[in-house]
């Protein structure tokens, strides 16, 4: 199962990278009013204490806090 799982994760990563490429292009076309995280949400890493115990995938409240912090900063919503 390990090679199949690795291949599945690789395909998933490639799809997310493709989505991020489309987001980058759309944001560039939209102009200076577009706020995109530059892929920060995809790069965010979570510990087991930050995902829910039902599916061990989706972020729990702590994980949502982490994701909000990462994307807020990356999208330049932080006041300087």
pLDDT in tens, 5-28: 999 999 999 999 999 999 999 999
More reliable by pLDDT, 55 or 75: 55
Tell me how far apart the alpha carbons of residues 52 and 64 are, in angstroms, rounded to a whole number. Answer: 10
Residue-wise pLDDT tens digits, 27-74: 999 998 888 888 999 999 999 999 999 998 899 999 999 999 999 988
Q: What number of other Cβ atoms are within 10 A of residue 42's Cβ?
A: 13
Q: Residue 36's pLDDT is what?
A: 86
Tokens found for residue 12? 């998933």
Q: What is the pTM assigned to this prediction?
A: 0.70
- Which residues have CB under 8 Å from 71's CB, separation 6+? 37, 40, 41
Place of tokens 């994980």: 63
- Give the pLDDT of residue 78: 63
Find the distance separating the first CA and the last CA of the chain, reported in whole Å.
48
């Amino acid at each position: 199962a390990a090679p199949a799982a690795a291949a599945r994760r690789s395909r998933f990563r490639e799809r997310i990278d493709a989505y991020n490429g489309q987001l980058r292009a759309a944001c560039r076309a939209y102009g200076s009013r577009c706020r995109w995280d530059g892929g920060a949400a995809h790069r965010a890493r979570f510990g087991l204490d930050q995902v829910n115990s039902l599916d061990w995938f989706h972020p729990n409240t702590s994980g949502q806090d982490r994701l909000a912090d990462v994307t807020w900063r990356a999208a330049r919503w932080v006041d300087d």
